[in-house]
């Protein structure tokens, strides 16, 4: 007899009958003859009507699937975050915990942590979405003007139409003007700008263009350690070779060309290095590289004939006194034509970070400098396969690169909101640094920029043994315990890479100030107890 | 002396000084010493300050780049569309042409062709975007309720927050209910549904999971010819093996299992077939497959142990009397557990087609049936790298799968608008068929569904010779001439695949009815003259 049976799905994808933490489904459960479990059904027996359930090996299995995908890892949405979601459901179901909510300090998701959207951005977007609002007297005129400009550039005046695959031209013009202004007048051309589904897509696309060769000629990609795991994930997916260079924790995560050279030397003849990636301001490490470092990296790229990828999505997130954001492009052009005519550079920006935090819109762009025209044509073709980036995300790019001007009605509010967000982040960067300071066993570099602290912490040998016994790396063991006991969700340093024998975690500075204080206090107490427990 | 020089960029990516058709930029042009063109600069000489411009070979060139990308082709945004854009700019610049506008009948972009967005979709989206509108008395209550439901499921109640990588859970629940209703109650589980950045992303992701092996064990993917070039592009990108099966033009583009078997047999031992893809209703061919055909394909997939990919994005676009959309999932379950417990199926849907036409939002989903739990966990991990699909696109998926109910204020308008769009498309499908009927040299199958006609047309031998002389395939030669002389942009059949020696073009049925009549009349006249010219 067949029957309907309620089945739960666990976060790991497995099904469990009866109560579970995940979603519930009714599935038709069919009778199964004794001894028919796991029998291989060949193509002849399939024609029958009494075939048993689930007894043929699947076509797509862990063994048969794309093995590169299995090598992909992405810690900021990994095991710890799946467990955080499960705990949230347990709390909803009334399970008793020593905390009332999970604080997600694992990912740079500003709105989720209570940051308010910038009013002007949302007004323009609402006007683009539902143009009947263009008659609404409550909507400011500058927002209406921006919306009309975007709609005029859309097919059928609708943001529901596809756009050019490279992105809407007037928006790319805005971006070019924004970059020119940022870089003190150095020219930027809309034709070198590609809008994208977030900076992530643009980064993966550049890497896809770059990776080629087999064996020793396979493309090597130099990435910082610690790194943002998008890079290692894309490198694994593309079967490229990851070449690690280490940032100097003792020197506030500075990048040194000596270390780049060491990494290149060590990769030796086993790979053909093609590209060097720099994240500035740093993720997960929160440092802001000096102008000198950037110049050194450019010189290194020129000398070693490497394509330069500059991940500059935190370009407005600079907090520390004496620190300043220097774009790779500006420094490149200031170094003169010997470099600016030679070095191939891609610089990425996003609407997800800075003061906007509009992660959900998946908007971003890349500007290419010195890209070979033939390669550019191939790139245009490649991005055309995904048709176009989401138009609402393109619109956000268009708005932030064409913000209200001093004479316009929304200027004051826009600037106030921007200042407030960046001011609060600066305050929380300072607070984080302060709170970790003086905790025995924890050392944290200043959060000069971006949205993260990446403190190093000692783990007692007994805790390391306990982690090994639990089959976990020590920092994962710590972060899982922290989550289970306090509800605080941070990401183990092993997900970003760290020097052998050191342990870190990445924590965002995004929780609202009062919540961040509570979080930091809880974290300090937890760490103290953890050390005591395993001493 | 360096100087600023205006440079134009041509659609092929090349730069041209002075007047051009593309965008204009000012670039700094630097002096170049005589004889320094194309000199290779080694890493030692880069350090100098007088390095010449553009004389080092680039890192990323057509020779060094990922060679798989070069094999990618995507006709619906290919050469003819680049030329169409250029012609539009020429018209804007006042250039004299035998027509006043380009009619883009090359791509299924409904809004661009004048289709109006569904009011309810845009109201809910505007409310989600700018929640201050929840106080607007002009917004209907059901739209507000939907917006609140979506916002409640977003981090910080903002669609600017990231969502779960698989998509917002309440939206996946909507989708599951929608599928259950569509399929007469066959259960659908939200855990098997993955929201995506358009159906395209979901299709490419499934293929990425499936493709593995080397040499003779490399995964073969069976696709229909003619096909939608997303498939061939993804197959090229993944270095999978494309295995063609031909649809039967004489039988209204029906799919026959005999032909599937022939294709499989012919692929023989050179490849390990892993997957069969079916597009129903058909793109570019506009047919609606019968229930019997779908049953046959399922049986074939079971017998040959193939993963089944069903591209069902046109599921509401069925026009012809006697035709009906049968989902692969429904037929699979109606065939009983011998199949429904065995066959691994992925079915794709999109907000870009049907009555919505919201292409710009890049919303879509895939439902997996019988996916291995371990593979599913790998898939969850893989999609987490791109963080999440655009939330506004997810919201559109949520809205169309939870439309206004009969007792709700927006129900009448929603249903009226839906009926109007689908009615107009049905009218244009009929009109297209009628207009091609009786044109000597053109044969067009009925447009039973989807958004395209794919007429076959004879090309006189002299035109074939002229095409060869121009270095073009004959149908591209025809379509380019059509574009240059009438402004009508259609895509050559060679971009989709066609039997050797036959010629087709794909034309959408999306232009508004009066414009479509003009277009079809012009096309008929042009074809008559073309044949006369080359006879």
**Of the candidates B12, B165, B373, which has its C-beta nearest A377's C-beta?**
B12
Contact between A270 and A261 (Cβ < 8 Å): no
The CB density around residue B86, as the number of other CB atoms within 10 Å, is 17
Alpha carbon distance B251, B464 (integer Å): 27
Q: What is the pLDDT of residue A17?
A: 38
Own/partner pairs for B126-130, CB < 8 Å, 24+ apart? B126/A126, B126/A129, B126/A130, B126/A133, B128/B159, B128/B392, B128/B395, B129/A122, B129/A125, B129/A126, B129/A129, B129/A392, B129/B159, B129/B392, B130/A122, B130/A123, B130/A125, B130/A126
Q: Do B378 and A70 count as a contact with CB atoms less than 8 A apart?
A: yes
**Of the candidates A67, A234, A372, which has its C-beta nearest B58's C-beta?**
A372
The CA dihedral of B190, B196, B201, B207, to the nearest 10 degrees, is -20
Does B190 score more than 50 pLDDT? yes
Q: Which residues of A touch B304 (CB under 8 A)?
A: 43
Beta strands in A312-408 (DSSP E): 345-350, 363-369
Across chain B, mean pLDDT equals 89
Q: Do B377 and A233 count as a contact with CB atoms less than 8 A apart?
A: no
Give the pLDDT band of residue A73 (cuts 50, 70, 90): confident
Q: Using CA coordinates, name the residue in chain B closest to A393.
A: B390
Contact between A210 and B61 (Cβ < 8 Å): no
Q: What is the pLDDT of residue A79?
A: 86
Q: Which residues of A touch B375 (CB under 8 A)?
A: 58, 60-62, 65
Q: Do A303 and B47 count as a contact with CB atoms less than 8 A apart?
A: yes
- In three-state secondary structure terms, A52 is coil
Q: Do A390 and B338 count as a contact with CB atoms less than 8 A apart?
A: no
Q: What is the pLDDT of residue A82?
A: 87
Q: What is the pLDDT of residue B468?
A: 96
Contact between B160 and A352 (Cβ < 8 Å): no
Burial of B45 (0-12, 13-18, 19+ CB in 10 A): middle
- In three-state secondary structure terms, B296 is helix
Q: What is the pLDDT of residue A43?
A: 29
Q: Which residues of A258-276 are buried (b: 16+ CB within 10 A; e: fewer)?
A: ebbeebbeebeeebbbbbb
Alpha carbon distance A59, A349 (integer Å): 40
Alpha carbon distance A118, B11 (integer Å): 36
Q: What is the pLDDT of residue A268?
A: 82
The CA dihedral of B195, B200, B203, B208, to the nearest 10 degrees, is -100
List, in sequence order, every residue forming a beta bridge with A489; answer none if it has no partner.
Answer: A104
Interface test mutation site (partner A, options B124, B130, B193, B344, max chain A beta carbons within 10 A): B130
Q: What is the pLDDT of residue B55?
A: 52
Interface test mutation site (partner A, options B295, B360, B510, max chain A beta carbons within 10 A): B360
In this structure, what token pair is assigned to residue A355?
């003061």
* Residue B226 distance to chain A (closest CA, Å): 17
Q: Do B43 and A305 count as a contact with CB atoms less than 8 A apart?
A: yes
Contact between B156 and A116 (Cβ < 8 Å): no
pLDDT in tens, A291-334: 999 999 999 999 999 999 999 999 999 999 999 999 999 999 99
Q: What is the pLDDT of residue A212?
A: 92
* Residue B432 distance to chain A (closest CA, Å): 22
* Residue A268 distance to chain B (closest CA, Å): 17
Dihedral sign (CA B125, B126, B132, B135): negative
**Of the candidates B125, B160, B190, which has its C-beta nearest A358's C-beta?**
B160
Place of tokens 């026959």: B256
Q: Do B155 and A112 count as a contact with CB atoms less than 8 A apart?
A: yes
Contact between B527 and B442 (Cβ < 8 Å): yes
Does A260 score more than 60 pLDDT? yes
Q: Do A15 and B373 count as a contact with CB atoms less than 8 A apart?
A: yes
Does A83 score more than 90 pLDDT? yes
Q: What is the pLDDT of residue B334?
A: 98
Across chain A, mean pLDDT equals 89
Q: Which residues of B touch A51 (CB under 8 A)?
A: 337-339, 341-342
Q: Using CA coordinates, name the residue in chain A closest to B295.
A: A47
Backbone phi, psi, residue A271, to 5°? -160, 160
In this structure, what token pair is assigned to residue A147?
């919306």
Strands of A193-197's sheet, edge to edge?
A193-197, A363-369, A345-350, A307-311, A272-279, A219-225, A241-246
Average pLDDT over residues B220-234: 95
**Of the candidates B339, B362, B375, which has its C-beta nearest A62's C-beta?**
B375
In this structure, what token pair is assigned to residue A438?
């003086």
Interface test mutation site (partner B, options A30, A72, A117, A129, max chain B beta carbons within 10 A): A129
Contact between A329 and A296 (Cβ < 8 Å): no
Q: Do A190 and B107 count as a contact with CB atoms less than 8 A apart?
A: no
Q: Do B109 and A155 count as a contact with CB atoms less than 8 A apart?
A: yes
pLDDT in tens, B438-462: 899 999 999 999 999 999 999 999 9
Contact between B112 and B135 (Cβ < 8 Å): no
Q: Using CA coordinates, name the residue in chain A closest to B512.
A: A156
**Of the candidates B70, B109, B123, which has its C-beta nearest A162's C-beta?**
B109
In this structure, what token pair is assigned to residue B193?
């549904």
Q: Using CA coordinates, name the residue in chain B closest to A214.
A: B66
Does A404 score more than 90 pLDDT? yes
Angle (CA) A180 A282 A233, round 5°: 105
* Residue A371 distance to chain B (closest CA, Å): 8
Q: What is the pLDDT of residue A74?
A: 82
Contact between B94 and B87 (Cβ < 8 Å): no
Does B205 score more than 60 pLDDT? yes
Interface test mutation site (partner B, options A38, A199, A360, A389, max chain B beta carbons within 10 A): A360
Average pLDDT over residues A327-352: 97
Q: Do A23 and B169 count as a contact with CB atoms less than 8 A apart?
A: yes
Q: What is the pLDDT of residue B186?
A: 97
Q: Which of A493, A433, A427, A424 is nearest to A457 (CA)?
A: A493
Q: Do A339 and B22 count as a contact with CB atoms less than 8 A apart?
A: no
First to last CA, chain A: 59
pLDDT in tens, B35-90: 333 322 222 333 333 333 445 689 999 999 999 998 888 877 788 988 999 999 99
* Residue B439 distance to chain A (closest CA, Å): 32
- In three-state secondary structure terms, A226 is coil
Does A45 score more than 60 pLDDT? no
Q: Do A191 and B78 count as a contact with CB atoms less than 8 A apart?
A: no
Q: Does the structure's ipTM exceed the value 0.95?
A: no
Q: Enter the pTM of the model.
A: 0.89
Q: What is the pLDDT of residue A230?
A: 94
Q: Which residues of B touch A200 (CB under 8 A)?
A: 385-387
Q: Which residues of A touch B385 (CB under 8 A)?
A: 72, 74, 200, 230, 233-234, 237
Helix intervals (H) in A238-357? 257-267, 291-304, 328-334, 337-340
Strands of B219-225's sheet, edge to edge?
B193-197, B363-369, B345-350, B307-311, B272-279, B219-225, B241-246
Q: Using CA coordinates, name the residue in chain B closest to A28.
A: B187
Number of H helices, E strands in chain B: 17, 17
Does A9 score more than 80 pLDDT? no
Alpha carbon distance B131, B144 (integer Å): 9
Place of tokens 């169309």: B400
A-B interface: how many C-beta pairs under 8 angstroms? 398
Query: Parallel, antiparallel, or unpaired: how do β-strands B272-279 and B193-197 relate?
Result: unpaired
Q: Do A162 and B112 count as a contact with CB atoms less than 8 A apart?
A: yes
Q: Do A9 and B189 count as a contact with CB atoms less than 8 A apart?
A: yes
* Residue B531 distance to chain A (closest CA, Å): 32
pLDDT in tens, A24-33: 343 333 333 3
pLDDT in tens, B382-421: 999 889 999 999 999 999 999 999 999 999 999 999 999 9
* Residue B195 distance to chain A (closest CA, Å): 13
Lowest model confidence (mean pLDDT) among A125-129, B1-5, B500-504: B1-5
Alpha carbon distance B311, B315 (integer Å): 9
Alpha carbon distance A82, A12 (integer Å): 8
pLDDT in tens, B319-359: 999 999 999 999 999 999 999 999 999 999 999 999 999 99
The CA dihedral of B121, B124, B128, B129, to the nearest 10 degrees, is 60
Q: Which of B87, B7, B204 is nearest to A382 (CA)?
A: B204
Q: What is the pLDDT of residue A55?
A: 52
Q: Using CA coordinates, name the residue in chain A closest to B231.
A: A385
pLDDT in tens, B476-493: 999 999 999 999 999 999
Does A120 score more than 80 pLDDT? yes
Q: Using CA coordinates, name the residue in chain A closest to B361.
A: A390
In this structure, what token pair is assigned to residue B161?
């927050």
């Amino acid at each position: 007899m067949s029957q309907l049976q309620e089945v739960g799905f666990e976060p790991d994808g497995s099904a469990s009958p009866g109560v579970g933490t995940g979603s519930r489904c009714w599935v038709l459960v069919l009778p199964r003859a004794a001894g028919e479990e796991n029998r291989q059904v060949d193509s002849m027996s399939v024609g029958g009507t009494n075939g048993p359930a689930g007894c043929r090996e699947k076509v797509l299995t862990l063994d048969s699937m794309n093995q590169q995908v299995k090598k992909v890892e992405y810690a900021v949405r990994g095991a710890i975050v799946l467990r955080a979601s499960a705990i949230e459901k347990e709390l909803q179901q009334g399970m008793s915990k020593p905390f009332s909510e999970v604080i997600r300090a694992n990912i740079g998701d500003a709105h989720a942590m209570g940051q308010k959207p910038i009013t002007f951005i949302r007004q323009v977007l609402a006007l683009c979405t539902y143009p009947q609002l263009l008659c609404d007297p409550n909507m400011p005129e500058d927002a209406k003007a921006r919306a009309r400009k975007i709609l005029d550039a859309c097919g059928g005046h609708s943001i529901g139409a596809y756009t050019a695959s490279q992105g809407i031209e007037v928006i790319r013009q805005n971006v070019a003007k924004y970059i020119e202004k940022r870089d003190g007048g150095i020219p930027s051309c809309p034709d070198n700008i590609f809008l994208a589904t977030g900076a992530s897509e643009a980064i993966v696309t550049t890497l896809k263009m770059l990776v080629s060769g087999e064996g020793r000629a396979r493309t090597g990609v130099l990435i910082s350690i610690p790194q943002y795991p998008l890079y290692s994930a894309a490198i694994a997916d593309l079967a490229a070779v990851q070449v690690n260079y280490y940032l100097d924790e003792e020197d506030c995560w500075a990048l040194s060309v000596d270390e780049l050279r060491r990494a290149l030397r060590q990769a030796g003849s086993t790979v053909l290095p093609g590209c060097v990636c720099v994240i500035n301001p740093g993720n997960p490490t929160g440092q802001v590289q000096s102008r000198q470092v950037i110049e050194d990296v450019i010189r290194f790229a020129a000398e070693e004939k490497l394509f330069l990828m500059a991940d500059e999505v935190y370009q407005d997130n600079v907090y520390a006194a004496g620190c300043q954001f220097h774009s790779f492009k500006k420094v490149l052009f200031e170094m003169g034509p010997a470099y600016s005519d030679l070095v191939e550079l891609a610089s990425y920006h996003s609407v997800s970070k800075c003061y906007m935090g509009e992660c959900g819109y998946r908007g971003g762009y890349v500007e290419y400098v010195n890209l070979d025209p033939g390669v550019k044509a191939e790139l245009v073709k490649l991005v055309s396969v995904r048709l176009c980036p989401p138009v609402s995300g393109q619109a956000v790019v268009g708005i932030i690169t064409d913000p209200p001007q001093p004479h316009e009605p929304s200027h004051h509010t826009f600037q106030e909101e921007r200042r407030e967000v960046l001011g609060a982040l600066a305050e929380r960067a300072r607070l984080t640094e302060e709170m970790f300071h003086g905790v025995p066993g924890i050392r944290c570099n200043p959060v000069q920029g971006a949205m993260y602290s990446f403190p190093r912490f000692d783990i007692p040998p007994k805790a390391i043994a306990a982690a090994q016994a639990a089959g976990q790396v020590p920092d994962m063991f710590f972060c899982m315990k922290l989550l289970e006991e306090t509800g605080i969700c941070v990401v183990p340093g092993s997900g970003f890479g760290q020097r052998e024998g050191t342990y870190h975690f990445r924590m965002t500075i995004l929780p609202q100030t009062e919540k961040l204080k509570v979080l930091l206090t809880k974290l300090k107490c937890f760490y103290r107890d953890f050390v005591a427990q395993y001493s």
